[in-house]
Structure 1
């Protein structure tokens, strides 16, 4: 048995959170001991496994700010994660062998103060997720980007979620040419997907022959407006009596972008006169998600260069075909023309693919059945579990890459300087 602690910045609802929860469930199913430490966990906005006690969660450092003067989100996230790592290192009651951390690598030097092995899951380089719109923003991000690259290289093992991300990793982190990240595809929670749908919820869904669905967090990078514009063209071609679009996604009232983008999308729908044909759903239960995917004609997956994307796999497993942008993770998960369609991210191209479902009677069933078979063959829980357990076991046997006493003193000094610097803000 290996004792594994998952260190994650915010256990809310999202693809990254689902990935680490599935990893914990996979290890637990093989008798390993797992638990979570996080800087934020809201029982009203989280996945069921962290709410019902299936997975033990300890929240530390939530008193630290998420932003300063409406800015410095990245810096605050780094500080919160470093604080959580300090808790892990100095807590005498935590008996652990491996720390599985993700999203923020700045905590790795602190974790190296202990004798644990460190596994870092790189969903995508953080430095590529932020736009540098000004000189000051570029100046602010420069040391953070350097810190991300350097500390990522300190992990004993690095994982990525797709071959696409592995390529991005190599192109982005030039100094880490010696690091060979292993690809570990995220998987859906099959046990949850096998549970019954919510019939009462399904009864509330629009009663239209063709129901199109978008599931993404309310973030601009998810390009949800593409689904709206493609649907507008579809209505122009086939009329509004047959089709309906449901835009569903994770929503957190604390996140400014969630609030702003939700309003932007509502305004777009109203401006285009589609209010009666487009519904919005902000956050939803697992049962409601199953109901949506089971009822939909197809899923519209609009992000470009998505790192991986777990929702298309969930959709295919529930025999819901997928129309996705032809870049990033979907290139590895969707078989074009067999389980859905890979399209240029343009409204007319997406609309053409959507129209096929209105004109081909058995297309939904044909692509849906092929999609489920593809998921079973390539993205099973058993394959995921076996691969992850092998990685953990190899990590335990490899005792190289240990930290020197001089490096320990350096880390302690840097941490002390950091907290002295930020203390006046609190």
Structure 2
């Protein structure tokens, strides 16, 4: 297929808020738009006060269907409601819009068969991680509830024309989880998420006056942010011991440090509200409340200020599917201290662009102290990190690969159509 042909491309996403999945969808839309294609995003929810700024600028249209449908029923059946909302979006796309050449779907595979009703549209499904592994199966009732949903997820994922995943870790997990698809020879391809390396990273006067480590994550328990607080508490104890020794020897010290905990926060979600309070309680219990600043729902501009000014970014999820935060940190020329599992093993180069540690406060604190005691190490790692992310994880690299994948998908489709026509003669 001609790489200069203008395509009609739709992206279907459940909730266009702020998070790694949303960031990837927005990046995909931006990159495809910049390559001259007609791009349209469809979603069940788009809060203009809680979204990425690119979705507000008119660079591509965003159409919302089904926001009137419930998110849950008596605070239960969240997954069923999410599926129904997304299927409603897909039905509206099929009924009210002309055929798209390609539809990029992520998170909810249940929409794939609906979108495939338009025979001329190719459906690409991006699997961030199997949903059945994220859901709880802890009781007999939960298992019964999830069984049809798990079957639906695997079955509909296999209906896509192409499946992509965000890391080799997720690709391996995909094969181990969807055994039926594995037996059919369905193998996902890896398309790493990306970061905009051309963002403006600027310091503020107030941020220059203090040293701090930075944790950025959504306020969800699976992000394990308590590890950052406990590690920071261990750092403050070691810094306190150094202060005592230096005071005894009448030596001035500059090892004063803080921790900033920032990230996505949605007041509508009970877990977000509860977890923030749990983290504040933990900081009080560890005796570091006065040294920990919480900044939920900070703007992109504020996040970039924090990234520019921090010593390093502390990234605490274990077995994270990929993790966009390490890329954002490295783009800002900051080292990353992350768990030695999941996606960070593919994005962070140990002892080069940061540290990969066992998920313990002691190991994280040890890496933090190394950077705190010798700022030149943080500078050296930051420079290596910036170069690393430019070469492998820049948005342009992501866009070029996605564009190539789409052209190859359409090219194979048209080649197969011609072969069918020849066979029918």
Secondary structure in 2 matching 1:71? coil
CA distance in 1, matches of 2:352, 2:411: 42
Instruction: Indicate conservation of the 8 Å contact 1:85/1:107, yes or no.
Output: yes
For residues 200-232 of structure 1, give each alpha carbon's deviation from its aligned partner in whole angstroms, at most 9, with x where no partner exists.
Answer: xx3444832x31000000000000000000000
Instruction: Indicate conservation of the 8 Å contact 2:213/2:257, yes or no.
Output: yes
Q: How far off is 1:53 after superposition?
A: 1.6
- Larger Rg: 1 or 2? 2
Counterpart in the other structure of 1:102? 106
Tell me the TM-score normalised to structure 2 length: 0.90
Counterpart in the other structure of 2:209? 207
Instruction: Indicate conservation of the 8 Å contact 1:206/1:244, yes or no.
Output: no
Counterpart in the other structure of 1:273? 287
Tell me the TM-score normalised to structure 1 length: 0.90
Secondary structure in 1 matching 2:293? strand
CA distance in 2, matches of 1:385, 1:257: 34
Q: How far off is 1:95 after superposition?
A: 4.2
What does residue range 369-380 of structure 1 map to in structure 2 within 5 Å?
369-380=383-394
Counterpart in the other structure of 2:197? 190
Q: How far off is 1:97 after superposition?
A: 1.1
Counterpart in the other structure of 2:63? 58
Counterpart in the other structure of 2:158? 153
CA distance in 2, matches of 1:62, 1:152: 24
What does residue range 169-188 of structure 1 map to in structure 2 within 5 Å?
169-177=174-182, 178-188=185-195
CA distance in 1, matches of 2:266, 2:205: 26
For residues 26-48 of structure 1, give each alpha carbon's deviation from its aligned partner in whole angstroms, at most 9, with x where no partner exists.
Answer: 11111111110000000000000
The count of aligned residue pairs is: 395
The answer on 1:261 being equivalent to 2:262 is no
CA distance in 1, matches of 2:60, 2:306: 26
CA distance in 1, matches of 2:234, 2:197: 35
Q: How far off is 1:140 after superposition?
A: 0.2
Secondary structure in 1 matching 2:289? coil
Secondary structure in 1 matching 2:135? coil
The answer on 1:18 being equivalent to 2:12 is no
Instruction: Indicate conservation of the 8 Å contact 2:201/2:332, yes or no.
Output: no
Q: Cα gap change, 1:41/1:300 in structure 2, threshold over 3 Å: closer, same or farther?
A: same
Q: 4+ runs of 1 displaced by more than 4 Å?
A: none
Instruction: Indicate conservation of the 8 Å contact 2:216/2:325, yes or no.
Output: yes
CA distance in 2, matches of 1:166, 1:110: 25
Q: How far off is 1:398 after superposition?
A: 2.8
Provide the alpha-carbon RMSD of the alignment: 1.6
Q: How far off is 1:134 after superposition?
A: 1.3
For residues 5-34 of structure 1, give each alpha carbon's deviation from its aligned partner in whole angstroms, at most 9, with x where no partner exists.
Answer: 000000000000001110111111111111
What does residue range 17-416 of structure 1 map to in structure 2 within 5 Å?
17-91=22-96, 93-115=97-119, 116-177=121-182, 178-191=185-198, 193=199, 195-197=200-202, 202-205=204-207, 207-208=209-210, 210-239=211-240, 242-399=256-413
